[in-house]
Chain A
Amino acid sequence: TSSQVGRRLALIGDDINMRY
């Protein structure tokens, strides 16, 4: 669902933010 995608995107964003 769109909620799942939204939560995933938040995790992906936070992860890339930590990696860079």
Chain B
Amino acid sequence: MESSEFRYVYYLVQDYLKYILQEPELGPAPSRVAHVLRNSASFLQKENEEILKPCLDTLDITSVDAARRIFIQVMDKEFDDGNTNWGRILTIFMFGGILSKRLQEHKVQLTGDNKEQISYFITEYIINTKAEWIDANGGWENGFLPMFEEK
């Protein structure tokens, strides 16, 4: 049984991926944090997708398993200097969105099961490596939200 913290992040990741994949049944964001995350991470994604494209083209993102491996490798590199900040946390969501779109472009059918797997490995990474930092830096409501809301 996952912790309530895990379920909270899982629902943020799921909501962001649904938003990025433009799922037709998508309603309004289920919370303020989810709403701000949709806006700020997708803005960042639009801004950087083209810049990252030459690097991404070298990666073989053709299955959910490959996406998981690449995600872990990229994250390990991103955080190997030991620094964490809310901007970098935002890039975790952004990169999850980029990977999901890439899978779609490679004609990988993003079934409900596949999307759950992707949301799961992203959440697992955040919970296993960033939960303490997030908690020590105000959490989603008091750390993330004041920084990115209405900006």
Question: Using a CB–CB distance below 8 Å, which chain A residues touch chain B?
Answer: 1-10, 12-18, 20
**10 other A-B residue contacts (CB within 8 Å) besides A2-B73, A6-B75:** A1-B58, A2-B74, A3-B77, A5-B55, A5-B95, A8-B48, A12-B44, A12-B94, A16-B91, A20-B147
The residues of B that contact A8 with a CB separation of less than 8 Å are 48, 51-52, 55
The residues of A that contact B83 with a CB separation of less than 8 Å are 10, 14
Among residues 50 to 88 in chain B, which have CB atoms less than 8 Å away from a CB atom of chain A? Answer: 51-52, 55-56, 58-59, 70, 73-81, 83, 85-88
Residue in B closest to A3 when the chains form the complex, CB atoms = B77
> Which of B81, B91, B148 contacts A12 (CB under 8 A)?
B91
> Which of A2, A4, A5, A20 contacts B87 (CB under 8 A)?
A20
Question: Using a CB–CB distance below 8 Å, which chain B residues touch chain A?
Answer: 44, 48, 51-52, 55-56, 58-59, 70, 73-81, 83, 85-91, 94-95, 147-148, 151
Grouping DSSP codes into helix (H, G, I), strand (E, B) and loop, the B interface class, with mixed when no group exceeds half, is: helix
Q: A6 to B76, Cβ gap below 8 A?
A: yes
Alpha-carbon distance between A14 and B90 when the two chains are bound, in angstroms:
10
Alpha-carbon distance between A16 and B55 when the two chains are bound, in angstroms:
20
Min Cβ gap B108→A in Å is: 18
Q: A16 to B87, Cβ gap below 8 A?
A: yes
The residues of B that contact A13 with a CB separation of less than 8 Å are 78, 85, 87-91
Min Cβ gap B18→A in Å is: 22
Alpha-carbon distance between A15 and B73 when the two chains are bound, in angstroms:
21
The residues of A that contact B74 with a CB separation of less than 8 Å are 2, 5-6, 9
Min Cβ gap B74→A in Å is: 4
